[in-house]
Structure 1
Amino acid sequence: MTAALLLAVFAASASVLGGRLLSQPWVSRSPRVAVLGWQALSTSVVASILLAATALAMPFLPLRFSLASLLGAHTLTIVEHYETPAGVWPGLAGVTVVAILTTMLTVTTVRSFVRTRRARRSQRDALELVGRRHPGGFTVIEHDVPVAYCLPGTGNGTVVLSSAALALLDDREREMVLGHERRHLRARHDLALAFSGALARTFPWVPLFATSHTQIAMLLEMAADDTAASPADRRALAGAIVALGTGVRPEFALAASDTAALVRVRRLTATTRSPVRGLGVVAGAGAALVLSMPLGLALAPAVEAATRDCCTVVDLSISG
């Protein structure tokens, strides 16, 4: 029972403290590091929930025999360390919870994959009919609204610009917009969004996952911005974002059609600040710690049981 309680406390604490840490201003300076942080935090919380339910069911799961053999402990000692005062009912509830949540996550992920694949295939088919290949390596569609987007899929994916976007952007702006979209394709940002989206849809009662999905979407845009524009070109990219968002080329005012675009424009037009030195190393170590904590807490009673058995054997050998 102790392991389940510790895992529940860890999941709640990590959700609150980790969410606050990853919502600080520093994330805009190192968006890729922040994406790693959100992914590690979300994965850790999911693992904590599933392992807490598994720990409740440990006294009658076949896993107890393998665990005892691996740690060199007696199975009965392992069972004693995972038993609850309420008997088998928490364990039965734990097995049920694990089965339900795992099934929900699997079904949600598969459905999302199938729906996304079908939609992308339909879009590619439509592009073959209405789009024309530009010598610059992207597809142009005739449309009065300025749009630019990428379509992941077979090969390297496809970058699409509307004819209005082509007319609106100058050559340098167009290259930066193309660089932005191609970065999404090369880095497979769609996979990161698919993972965070699956968690948000499967566990809507966990606010962390909805926040994580929203933040990752924005941070991936920032990361693509950093790849597309050099420090000297950041204002030009901001202008291109505004132009695509409003359909006009404003000379003085900056505006955008949504919050994410507004945040990106403000970031690109602000004074450039270098990423925090050593942040990647610290973030990597932090992510490893956060990911390993659920398993460590889940196994703690078993390790303690193995230690007790070891001490018992030593004492018996000495007394003999």
Structure 2
Amino acid sequence: MDNVTVITVLTLSGLNGTANYRVTLFAVTVLCYCVILLVNVTIIATIIGDKSLHEPMYIFLCNLCINGLYGTAGFYPKFLHDLLSPTQVISHAGCLLQGFVLHSSACADFSLLALMAYDRYVAICRPLMYHSVMTKQRISLFMFSAWFVPFFLMFLNTLTSTSRLCGSNIPRIYCVNWLVNSLACSDSDSIAKTIIPAFNSTFYGVHGGFVAWTYIYMIKKCLNSKENITKFMQTCLPHVFSVASFGVCLLFDLLYMRFSSRDLSQSVQNFMAMEFLLFPPIIHPLIYGFILTKIRKSILNFMCGLNSVFRLKL
């Protein structure tokens, strides 16, 4: 019987060549991660604590921030550990888990942004039907689907990455399923490896098309009424910014993943790899926190309350 080497540890080679400034990169990354935690937890706590914000739009926003924390938790702790470690390695199982978290978080973002677009569409274009459409039961079903479907589809996608590996090098700072698949020894399940990712891409491509169509339709609809334009600017503008930032970051990430050039410096490649995990988790809560009046007032009232309590103690 031939000896077969089973590869159980993978190397993340994205940090090669960064030894001279890893301490600086570590400090900046810690700062960014703290900002992500702060702004997302602030929005989540504000929405949960203020009963006046227990409405569909804010419930979806709360889940979007929770998903931001979930996705970044799959990257930043491991990345910070790698910055201080002489070797950047990860177990095969750990790599699959990280890939699952990052992929499912991105897909859940698609689902939640689609739900937020649908909510605004009903509120602006079908205002008289809003409360009959956005019932508690339907919102619960929407939220269950927004979490369950990405998890289920990414679980199937991860199963296609469990083949025996004949390579151990992943040229990125985190794990990606298709890069793990490229290390597989056999293509015996190549059909599954092709069909499942293709279905997932198409499924969430439809989500993206729906979101784009919804906002284009609402803009056209609102141009006929000053009242609708005002309503759109107050409640939909943050959604447009969030969708745009998410779409641009995702596009850059996909282009880099598929067509990354060795002519780019390692620093540029690393930035392109992690900008999807940096900008949306910060931009989403900041945009909604500053632009949506009810959330901004609730945050300010909470801060004023804390300030008053602090003064009384002094």
Same-fold status (TM-score > 0.5): no
With the length of structure 1 as denominator, give the TM-score of the two structures. 0.27
- Larger Rg over CA atoms: 1
TM, length-normalised to structure 2:
0.27
